[in-house]
Amino acid sequence: MFWAWGLVALLVALGGSPGEASAEAWPPPLPSAPWRATHPTVRGLSPAQPFRMDAVMKLTQALSPAVVQVEAILKKGSSQGSGFFLGPEGYLVTNNHVMSSATHARLTFSDGRTRSARLVARDPVTDFALLYAEARPGEQFDWLPLGDSDQVRVGQWAAALGAPLRFGNTVTVGVVSSVRRRGSRPRRPNWMKSYIQFDTAINPGSSGGVLVNMGGQVIGVVTAMRKDAQGLGFAVPVNRLKRMLPRMMGGYDVERATLGVAVQSTDEALARSLGLKSPTGALLRDVDLGGPADKAGLLAGDVIVRYDGQAIADHADLSWLVATSRVPEPVDVVVVRAREKLTVTVEPKLKSRWHVSSRRGGADRIPPGGVGVTGADAEVVRAMGFDGLPGGVLVYVVAPGSVAYRAGVRPGMWVVQVGDALVATPARFYQAVNESLARDGAVRVRVYNGEREARWMAWEAPAGD
Report strand pairing: 194-198 vs 210-213.
unpaired
Q: Are 104 and 20 in contact (CB under 8 A)?
A: yes
Please state, in angstroms and rounded to a whole number, the distance separating the CA atoms of residues 350 and 326. 9
Please state, in angstroms and rounded to a whole number, the distance separating the CA atoms of residues 373 and 10. 11
Please state, in angstroms and rounded to a whole number, the distance separating the CA atoms of residues 104 and 20. 8
Catalytic hit among 110, 177, 207, 436: 207
Please state, in angstroms and rounded to a whole number, the distance separating the CA atoms of residues 207 and 219. 14
Please state, in angstroms and rounded to a whole number, the distance separating the CA atoms of residues 13 and 370. 11
Residue 207 a catalytic site member? yes
Sign of CA dihedral 171, 172, 174, 180: negative
Q: Are 4 and 207 in contact (CB under 8 A)?
A: no
3-class secondary-structure state, position 10: coil
Catalytic hit among 39, 97, 104, 315: 97
Q: Are 260 and 299 in contact (CB under 8 A)?
A: no
Please state, in angstroms and rounded to a whole number, the distance separating the CA atoms of residues 395 and 312. 37
Catalytic hit among 127, 302, 314, 317: 127
Please state, in angstroms and rounded to a whole number, the distance separating the CA atoms of residues 446 and 457. 6
Q: Are 46 and 214 in contact (CB under 8 A)?
A: yes
Residues 6+ apart with CB under 8 A from 60: 159, 161, 171
Residue 355 a catalytic site member? no
- The CA-to-CA distance between both ends of the chain, in Å, stands at 51
- Cα 76 to Cα 73, 98, 234, 242, 458: the distances in Å are 8, 15, 29, 33, 19
- Cα 174 to Cα 100, 183, 340: the distances in Å are 29, 20, 43
Cβ count within 10 A of residue 281: 29
Instruction: Give 29's DSSP letter.
Output: P
- Which positions are catalytic? 97, 127, 207
